[in-house]
Amino acid sequence: MSIEVNGQTIETDEEGYLVNLSDWNEDVAAAIAKQENVEMTPNHWEVVNFLRQYYDEYQIAPAVRVLTKAIGKQLGEEKGNSKYLYELFPYGPAKQACKIAGLPKPTGCV
């Protein structure tokens, strides 16, 4: 599978995750978000950028429980809870947000 972004073909796997993490940029993220029916706001970008930093540091995409805890620590308790994250990413904060962030599917996600 693939998506078209600014005249470039970006390869994705059968679930829509990037094959090459280096293909990611904000335009690619916006295209994936559109496919996912997610209207990107500054709050969405905050989570996406957090995930990319987390991945750079730990080389793993966090599962939802780890994500929730880590966001709470860094961005505050009002953002570090499942309700807030599911409002932003209704198909699963870890799974959907990682896809938009250009990261691999988190371990433990079905």
Alpha-carbon distance of 42 to 40, in angstroms, equals: 7
Q: What angle do CA 79, 86, 101 make, to 5 degrees?
A: 80
Quick check: helix, strand or coil at residue 30?
A: helix
Which position among 30, 31, 75, 109 bears the catalytic label? 109
Confirm if 48 and 85 have CB atoms less than 8 A apart.
Answer: no
Known catalytic membership, residue 98: no
Both tokens assigned to 23 = 């293909």
DSSP 101: T
User: What is the biggest distance separating any 2 CA atoms in the chain, rounded to whole angstroms?
Assistant: 41
Residues involved in catalysis: 109
